[in-house]
Structure 1
Amino acid sequence: MTRTARRRILGGVAAGLLATSLGLAVSGTATAATAGPVGACTISPLPYPADTYRADANAVDPTGRFVAGSALRVSDSGNQPLLLVWDRDQLTTVESPTDGDVVDVNAYGVVVGNGWVNGIGQPWRYRDGRFEQLPVVPSDGIFVTAINKAGDIVGHGSNSATGEYFALRWPAARPGTVEVLDAPAGAAPVAITANGTIVGNAGEWGSWSAWVRRPGGRIEALGAPGARTTVAVAAAGHWAVGQADLGGEGGPVDVRWDLRDGSYTALDPWLEWVTDVNNKGVVVGGDRVVRGATSRVLPGGGDRVTIGARSISDTGTIVGFRNGDRVTPVRWTGC
């Protein structure tokens, strides 16, 4: 699913509103209060190249089969970015032609991400063993944020004159094309579900509002009564997650929207931030997984060891990182 270590809308919008897991982690000692024992929930390392000094798992596909991540290898000429793709436990390591982010992977193992060409954001796709740059429109930079099972990709660009975002889609049915979507002013999609529903954010800095675009093109707000701002982070099935600033003393709260009717519920306050949701409405973020109204701590953290859940599949597989003496990719199951 859409993820997270990636140049998505949260890289800009949520910098001032959300503490996401883009390079951050929750302290293992900061979440001592827990709903109970983890039970059968287990953590296991994902294999990664031994000659890298950091590696991370950024996204898992809805089936749980494919995981996509990144690593850095030191070479004589500097850091060499690597794309890591796990097919179950079989790792493929590919030298990345651009220094950027791994964003998402779909059920066919197609990976999308963002890089840079001459200082301008340039999205890419990795499939059938090769990288390819995605077509772009004139912009200060183009960034992808998600891909669905059909291969439809969404992202955003920015107007070179005004700096305002605009929504983009790369339709799988029309290879080699990109289209500017009819969407609210300043729109930036963050997710696209299996049926083509798109969720995103719009508006000026500090005045953001979340929205959903139905497959037929109808656009609706994702709000909350009395909310000053709402920000969507991820979506799957008929669920979307993000934050709503309700004006309380505690600041914005994590919420889960039901896309069928636009209703929302607040998530367990022990969840410090939210990064992903699956089609069953199970939410992950930081070192926690949320089912229904309660959350539980994922195993693997501890004294001077941090963990971060970045993405969850529809089967419940969670991927992310563990940072003890260095950042390494991990997978949680049975949680």
Structure 2
Amino acid sequence: MTHTARHRMLAGTAAGLLAASLGVAVASTATAAPRTGATSACTISTLPYPTDTYRADASVIDPSGRFVAGTALRIREDGNQYLLLTWDGQQLTETEAPGNGIDPVDVNESGIVIGNGWAENGIGRPWTYRAGKLEQLPVLPSTGIFVSAINKAGDIVGYGSDIVPGEFVALRWPAARPGTVEVLDAPLNAQPVGISPNGTIVGYAGPFGDWTSWVRRPNGKIKPLAVTGGGSTSLNAAAGHWAVGQAWLDGTSPAKVRWDVRDGSYTFLDQEMGLDDVNAKGVVVGGDRVARGSTSRVLPGSGERINIGARAISDTGTIVGFRNADRVTPVRWTGC
């Protein structure tokens, strides 16, 4: 499970041109595995959270469904206090976050959480949370560095702005070399959104509004993710051999797409879907919906003046997000 997530973090202005033409992807259809066996009841429950906070939500879940991370805001007389919330099953840990906010973007099977924060000068600064400690990742001189995904091995990917003046540069923090960060060989203005267990990286690149999605194999070979007759494409999230994003077929309204990164084949998704996350089985969540195959269903928990939002999904099918019923609270869906 990687998301980005997480696209809300990666959205921004990109400048420049692709380093080279990426070609045209396979135009056949890839279908996510359907649910098999008896269908269980889809239920929503509230995760434990600090009751003295103004708001709290759940943002990410690891592929096994054990570890969850989110945020909370505690309002004090001397100023706001941002909290990182982490759950191991039902056990909650709260950690005070320095600065003006904190944004967890992924967590792996070892419970290592990664995310983004901001230095006092407003420059983006990424961090990790493991074994109860919140630590900053090493960075390069830039006007902002952000992380987007971590895999089972602990390899992290992200991007930085103005490491090369006027450009975005793809970055990797290799687990095998702790305390280091390296610039990836990737298309110009590349923004990775996911990294698989074997080190395959997916992302998008190019000037704002004219993006091209791509997949980078462990051997460094790069291929495009596109749609037949499509123009610009961008990605929101990736897991296993699946990636989800948009394709601007007519230059105006983007189509929702799920790609199989093994061969570039793809499926169009329900246009009502949000694209917050996808799991290794190709199940997509976003907004108030979950999609298996090309159809979607509304998740339970919403109502008159009650909003819900699905943020992330594990490979076991557990979904986490928020419910806003006069107060934003962290929730979990199962059996959906």
Q: TM-score, normalised by structure 2?
A: 0.89
| Counterpart for residue 255 of structure 2 | 253
Q: Return the match for 1:263 from 257, 262, 265.
A: 265
Deviation at 1:76, TM superposition (A): 2.5
Residue of structure 1 in register with 2:283 after alignment = 282
Question: Which of 103, 106, 129 matches 1:104?
Answer: 106
Q: How many corresponding residue pairs?
A: 310
2-structure distance, mates of 1:179, 1:8: 24
* Matching residue of 2:307: 306
The CA distance in 2 between the partners of 1:197 and 1:281, in whole Å, is 16
How big is each residue's C-alpha offset from its partner over 1:60-88, in whole Å with a ceiling of 9 and x where there is no partner? 00000000000000122211000000000
SS in 1 for 2:54: strand
CA distance, structure 1, for counterparts of residue 332 and residue 59 of structure 2: 11
CA contact (8 A) 2:174 2:181 kept: yes
**Bigger shift: residues 64-73 or 191-200:** 191-200
Residue 79 and residue 11 in structure 1: after superposition, are their counterparts in 2 closer, same or farther (change >3 A)?
Answer: farther
Structure 1 gaps of 5+ residues are: 15-37
| Secondary structure of the structure 1 residue equivalent to 2:272 | coil
Q: How far 1:292 moved relative to its partner?
A: 0.9
- Describe how 1:20-39 pairs up with structure 2 within 5 A: none
1:74 equivalent in alignment to 2:55: no
Q: Which residue of 2 aligns with 1:115?
A: 117
Residues 7 and 256 (structure 1 numbering): CA distance in 2 closer, same or farther, change over 3 Å?
A: closer
| Pair 4,320 (structure 1): closer, same or farther in 2 beyond 3 Å | farther
1:201 aligned to 2:204? yes
Alpha carbons 2:5, 2:276 under 8 Å: kept? no
Q: Partner of 1:127 in structure 2?
A: 130
Query: 1:145–1:191: 8 Å Cα contact kept in structure 2?
Result: yes
The offset of 1:55, in angstroms, is 0.4
Tell whether the 8 Å contact from 2:5 to 2:106 is kept in structure 1 after alignment. Answer: no
What is the aligned partner in structure 1 of residue 217 from structure 2?
Answer: 214
Cα deviation for residue 116 of structure 1 reads 1.2
Residue deviations 1:25-64 (CA, integer Å, cap 9, x gap): xxxxxxxxxxxxx961000000100110100100000000
**CA distance 1:229–1:192, change in 2 (3 Å):** same
Amino-acid identity (%): 68
1:10 positional shift = 3.5
Task: Establish whether residue 177 from structure 1 lines up as the match of residue 180 from structure 2.
Answer: yes
* In 2, Cα distance between equivalents of 1:221 and 1:5: 20
Q: Quick check: 1:234–1:242 contact (8 Å CA) kept in 2?
A: yes
Deviation at 1:5, TM superposition (A): 7.4
Q: Match of 1:176, as an amino acid?
A: G
What 5-or-longer segments of structure 2 have no aligned partner? Answer: 15-38
CA distance in 1, matches of 2:82, 2:312: 21
- Are the aligned partners of 2:289 and 2:296 in contact in 1 as well (CA < 8 Å)? yes
Q: What is the rounded CA distance, in whole Å, between the counterparts of 2:261 and 2:212 in structure 1?
A: 15
Q: Which amino acid aligns with 2:306?
A: V
